[in-house]
Amino acid sequence: MRPVLGTAMYLHEVGNGRPVLFLHGNPTSSYLWRHVIAGRRPGWRCLAPDLIGMGRSARPAGLGYTFTEHAEHLDALLEDISQEHEPEDGVGTRDTDLTEDALAGVVVVGHDWGVALALELLRRRPEQISAVAVMEGHIQPLPGWEAFDPGGRELFQQLRTPGVGERMVLEENIFLERLLPAALQRSPGTDVLKQYASPYPDAASRRALLSWPRQIPIAGQPAETHAALNAAAQHASVSPVPKLLITAPGTPIVTPQVIDWCTRHLPHLTVAAVPGPAGHFLPEDQPDAVTDVLWQWLETLT
């Protein structure tokens, strides 16, 4: 656990070398990246936090779990890590008195909400972040509900309805009992589903899961998140850092229209497709393909 802004965030760390930060979305955790991290190439340090209020991280009562609050906690976490000095042998206590930036040249990888958070961190830390890889997440605000995935439109409208969303997420645990299992194209087995569900035993533990669908910027609302995603997308459109967009046929968020927008507006972009069957949760549905594509691209950055 890492102390961050008066609370604590869980951080999974593997390896030594150039840092790569893995950001999950809703309703997953750092566990999403287990296959990708297991395929780590030599010379890389993998850092995979659980977002505040999710996974094994703390659940501060005073947070609304807005996009901005998540970004602020990640920014503070990166600031803490950047002050470390990693021992050459990979063991022992890191010396926080040394000024070497432990996150120099960090690459950020994001899925789902981790995509927008990765781009926001790039906007906040342009001198520190050297590359970004994203998959199946919103890159910019949606102009209206007509731009939302038709298969999930009615459901997410319900999740954003006061009272209805509370019942569905907090009481019925719809994300982990129904939506995650139904969205997976490859049967993960009961043990994997239990790993995802175990941090959320009761309604109080699921508040961040409820906030996320209400944070999607649609038709300008919520205004703060709309402004944040718009600013992050605009910065990405002029940022010279290498970018990777991992796609798969038929995914609900990164559609052919989104891919076309990215290829026209994001400089230094590589688009890499993994085969189907694959739905929203690419690291679960195609773990080997995602692992291979990502690490092969990362190796081109060295």
Q: Angle between the 67-82 and 113-124 helix axes, to the nearest 10 degrees?
A: 60
| Residue in 50, 69, 80, 112 annotated catalytic | 112
Tokens coding 21: 């930060």
Q: Is 127 a catalytic residue?
A: no
Q: For 290, how many CA atoms within 13 A lie in the half-sphere containing its CB?
A: 30
Degrees, nearest 5: CA angle 121-248-211: 45
Tokens coding 258: 């989104």
CA distance 31 to 202: 20
**How many residues would you count in the chain?**
302
Q: How far is CA 112 from CA 28, 127, 279, 300, in A?
A: 9, 24, 12, 24
Classify the phi-psi angles of 277: left when phi > 0, otherwise alpha if psi is within -120 to 50, otherwise beta.
Answer: beta
Provide, for the chain, the percentages of residues in helix, strand and coil under a 3-state DSSP scheme, each rounded to the nearest 5. Answer: 40, 15, 40
The two beta strands, 44-49 and 11-14, are antiparallel
| Residue in 138, 226, 280, 284 annotated catalytic | 280
Of 58, 98, 51, 95, the residue nearest 77 (C-alpha)? 51
| Residue in 86, 136, 284, 285 annotated catalytic | 136
Q: Is 280 a catalytic residue?
A: yes
Residues classed as catalytic: 112, 136, 280
